[in-house]
């Protein structure tokens, strides 16, 4: 049995009314560790275990690290997660609950990642948060489930960070004969490395991340995500932090499910009735999830936004 679950696919009357389209939700927030990450990371951890890995190492204090910790516990493999000092207490508590060893190092993911790579031993497996074909292949299973349900949307909306989810969804579309469906890729201002790259026609690395949607905070998207932008119809949009936070709060009221701002960015298109949705009658939103955010934190951020 895989480490992920088949998640619900349902129509949202609230988002349909707000976005003036038939809005469908793929509820990846209901995965056991709280996000879609377990699909690809779980598959990768299983594969590395088959190859003889004795320890799993991650450099993410967010959803990827939680997925590695969950997978390691399920597989009986020890897990070490190196996190930057900015990692929230809630995230660290969740990692400890999954029995992971936590090492706190550096002011950013980049510094934590360098340390994680430096401590790797020969029998260890390193789990990159988003840049690994094993991950993309696993993430694609969510589209296998959508295709198996018989639902054929006119477009798919998802959030983009480093590009792992985007690569997985696109792989899933093409392997299910749905390569003609456009994808709407959403980022928040201050974390929009994919949008900057598409506008420039080349890979662009941001100087720094200024968005509160830290799960989207990859300064540079993976190469494969940028290659997909030349092979598939992808619309790149950027929303404000405020719009993402508003969407999180409204989605909690509408569906009794709390997601993080990185996920709220894609939901914001429906709640703001984005003109990009006008061309599509039936739209699938990937509710990617997020386990480290609380409603109090979201409301604090909203207050800071004025």
Q: Could you say which of 129, 163, 197 is where a domain stops?
A: 129
Do residues 124 and 174 share a domain?
Answer: no
CA 223, 208, 276, 245 torsion: positive or negative?
A: positive
**SS3 of 136-176:** HHHHCHHHHHHHHHCCCCCEEEEECCCCHHHHHHHHHHHHC
Do residues 188 and 234 share a domain?
Answer: yes
Q: Could you say which of 129, 164, 189 is where a domain stops?
A: 129
Do residues 278 and 153 share a domain?
Answer: yes
Do residues 43 and 27 share a domain?
Answer: no
Do residues 79 and 217 share a domain?
Answer: no
CB count within 10 Å of CB 8 equals 12
Do residues 28 and 157 share a domain?
Answer: yes
CA distances to 56, 85, 113, 161, 209 from 106, in Å? 20, 6, 9, 21, 15
Do residues 32 and 44 share a domain?
Answer: no
Q: What is the dihedral of CA 271, 272, 276, 279, to 10 degrees?
A: 60
Do residues 29 and 44 share a domain?
Answer: no
Query: For residue 232, what are the contacts with CB-CB under 8 A and spacing of at least 6?
Result: 170, 173, 174, 179, 182, 183
Q: Could you say which of 85, 101, 129 is where a domain stops?
A: 129
Per-residue pLDDT of the chain (306 residues; tens, 9 = 90+): 899 999 999 999 999 999 999 999 999 999 999 999 999 999 999 999 999 999 999 998 789 999 999 999 999 999 999 998 888 888 899 999 999 999 999 887 778 889 999 999 999 999 999 999 999 999 999 999 999 999 999 999 999 999 999 999 999 999 999 999 999 999 999 999 999 999 999 999 998 888 888 776 788 999 999 999 999 999 999 999 999 999 999 999 999 999 999 999 999 999 999 999 999 999 999 999 988 889 999 999 999 887
Q: What is the CATH number of the domain that holds 264?
A: 3.40.50.1100
Do residues 142 and 272 share a domain?
Answer: yes
Structurally, the chain folds into a number of domains equal to 2
Do residues 174 and 292 share a domain?
Answer: yes
Do residues 267 and 296 share a domain?
Answer: yes
Q: What is the pTM of this model?
A: 0.95
Do residues 142 and 207 share a domain?
Answer: yes
Residue 85's pLDDT is what? 85
> Domain limits at 64?
38-129
């Amino acid at each position: 049995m895989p480490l992920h679950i088949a998640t619900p696919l349902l129509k949202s009357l609230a988002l349909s009314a707000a976005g003036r389209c038939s809005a469908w939700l793929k509820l990846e927030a209901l995965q056991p560790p709280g996000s879609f990450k377990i699909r690809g990371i779980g598959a990768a951890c299983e594969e590395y275990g088959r190859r003889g890995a004795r320890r799993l190492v991650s450099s993410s204090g967010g959803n990827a690290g939680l997925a590695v910790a969950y997978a390691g516990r399920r597989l009986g493999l020890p897990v070490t997660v190196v996190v930057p000092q900015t990692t929230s207490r809630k995230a660290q508590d969740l990692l400890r609950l999954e029995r992971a060893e936590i090492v706190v190092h550096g002011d950013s993911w980049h510094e934590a990642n360098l340390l994680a790579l430096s401590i790797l031993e020969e029998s260890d497996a390193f789990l990159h948060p988003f840049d690994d074909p094993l991950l993309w292949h696993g993430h694609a299973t969510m589209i296998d489930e959508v295709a198996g349900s018989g639902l054929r949307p006119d477009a798919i909306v998802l959030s983009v960070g480093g590009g792992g989810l985007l690569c997985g969804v696109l792989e899933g579309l093409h392997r299910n004969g749905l390569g003609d469906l456009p994808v709407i890729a959403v980022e928040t201002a201050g974390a929009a490395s994919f949008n900057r790259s598409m506008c420039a026609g080349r890979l662009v690395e941001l100087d720094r991340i200024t968005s509160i949607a830290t799960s989207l905070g990859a300064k540079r998207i993976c190469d494969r995500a940028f290659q997909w932008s030349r092979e598939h119809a992808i619309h790149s949009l950027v929303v404000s932090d405020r719009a993402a936070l508003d969407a999180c709060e409204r989605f909690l009221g509408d569906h009794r499910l709390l997601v993080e701002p990185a996920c709220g960015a894609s939901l914001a298109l429906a709640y703001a009735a984005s003109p990009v949705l006008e061309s599509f009658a039936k739209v699938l939103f990937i509710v990617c999830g997020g386990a480290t955010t609380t409603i109090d934190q979201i409301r604090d951020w909203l207050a800071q936004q004025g």
